[in-house]
Amino acid sequence: MRPATVPALRILSDASLRHPALVGYLASRGIVPSVAAAFCREVRYEINGRAFFAVGFRNDAGGWELRSERFKGGSSPKHITTIGNRSDTVIAFEGFMDFLAYLSLKYPERLRIDAAVLNSVVNLPKAVPFISRHPVIRTFFDNDEAGRKATADLIRLCPRSEVIDQSSFTRT
């Protein structure tokens, strides 16, 4: 019998976002503190017995996307993050940093429409049931081949919705 494998990354705890290094990192990315506080947590995690901390963005399956100045990764399970506000419009993003940057520019006081963050374009199929319920879909995917393919896939998979490509507002 083989021993159980230990995950490389293990979540230790999460708390309100307070550490100056993380707050400064988000500020350097143009994220408004109130937006970060509404959607992110300070997550402590362990890799091979060493403890670290990062900005954490929770997904719908209980996993975390983790970011700091020195780390970009996540914990299992990998999944999408959806925010429902009973809106006819949904905004869709590849990653949570783009989502937070958009909110910091557009809705720093409060998000009033629905949102879907894929946390990776490979998760698009998981998002289609949520996204396809909306008559208007605004995609803010990266302006690259993967982002263009994800937008084209949504146009094909959501034929009753108007898909509006907003990639010109995102970085490549």
- What is the CATH classification number for the domain harbouring 155? 3.40.1360.10
- Are the CB atoms for 21 and 68 separated by under 8 Å? yes
Tell whether 68 and 91 lie within a shared domain.
no
Which residue ranges of the chain lie beneath pLDDT 70?
Answer: 1-7, 108, 170-172
Predicted local confidence at residue 1, as pLDDT: 62
DSSP 76: S
Question: Taking the chain, what is the end-to-end CA distance rounded to the nearest angstrom?
Answer: 48
Beta bridge pairs of residue 140: 93
What does pTM read for this prediction?
0.92
Pairing of strands 41-47, 9-15: antiparallel
Among candidate residues 47, 74, 101, the one where a domain is terminated: 74
Tell whether 121 and 70 lie within a shared domain.
no
Report the Cα 35 to chain-centroid distance in Å: 13
Tell whether 33 and 91 lie within a shared domain.
no
Which secondary structure element, helix H or strand E, spans residue 58, and what is its range? Answer: strand 50-58
Rounded to an integer, what distance in angstroms lies between the CA atom of residue 66 and that of residue 102?
18
Tell whether 25 and 41 lie within a shared domain.
yes
Among candidate residues 55, 74, 93, the one where a domain is terminated: 74
Q: Which domain holds residue 64?
A: 9-74
Predicted local confidence at residue 172, as pLDDT: 47
The CB density around residue 79, as the number of other CB atoms within 10 Å, is 20
Residue 108 lies in a domain: yes
